[in-house]
Amino acid sequence: MDTLDTALAAAWLRAAAAAVDRHAPELTALDSAIGDGDHGSNLRRGFTALAPLLAAPPAGGPGELLRAAGSTLISRVGGASGPLYGSALRALGAALPAAPATAAELAEALAAALASVQRLGGAQVGDKTMVDALAPAAEAFRAAAGQGLPAAAEAAARAAEQGARDTVPLQARKGRASYLGPRSVGHQDPGATSTGLILRALAEAAAAG
């Protein structure tokens, strides 16, 4: 499928929920090392809460679905994850047209999601946060958008996964992990890791589309 319609947006969120559920223990372990230890459980609770919305998506197109999903995450996920992921999905949805979105339009929407996360959290690339995965993913998607949605989503997923791995040698400058100072070095950031999982889910949904 080369456009993002409501069905594909719902498939993406279902795949993301399944990925978060599978990897919740890993995310919790990463967060236990440098955070509060609740990233996996919080995200699992939030994405599980999307089930009723995904069973009966709104009729206003993919943007409306993503905005509603973002609002659900904000209301159901504790810690920083809910506001950050919820803000990202709401900004993503708000930037999409009512009709199915092309790869180029989704690239612009991903840039809007990144900007929303950065406004809310104040993080830049290199601060050891989800931005270290989301920023390269947004750029990779934009660069590959001319190849179609599945190819662009795959490029974004790979960039996000590499961005998450690249947080290991960084010292955290934002979030709970920043309180640890040099002790945060040597650990992969949980938010960057979950960002990689969610963008991998988009690539899988687009490829299966």
For the chain, domain boundaries? 6-208
* Closest C-alpha to 67, from 44, 47, 46, 86: 86
Q: What is the share, in percent, of the chain residues with pLDDT greater than 90?
A: 86
Q: Give the pLDDT mean for 114-142.
A: 97
Q: What is the pLDDT of residues 6-30, one digit of tens each?
A: 999 999 999 999 999 999 999 999 9
State which amino acid sits at residue 151. Answer: A
pLDDT, tens digit, 9 for 90 and up, residues 74-120: 998 877 888 999 999 999 999 998 889 999 999 999 999 999 999 99
Mean pLDDT of 181-206: 96
Q: Where are the beta strands (DSSP E) in 80-139?
A: none
pLDDT band with cut points at 50, 70 and 90 for residue 1: low
**Sequence-separated (6 or more) residues with CB below 8 Å from residue 91:** 70, 109, 112, 113, 115, 116
pLDDT number for residue 81:
84
Identify whether the C-beta of residue 98 lies closer than 8 Å to the C-beta of residue 129.
no
Place of tokens 């179609």: 148
Is the Cβ–Cβ distance between 174 and 121 less than 8 Å? yes
Helices within 145-173 (DSSP H only): 149-165
Tokens of 96: 């999409």
Superfamily (CATH) of domain 6-208 = DhaL domain (1.25.40.340)
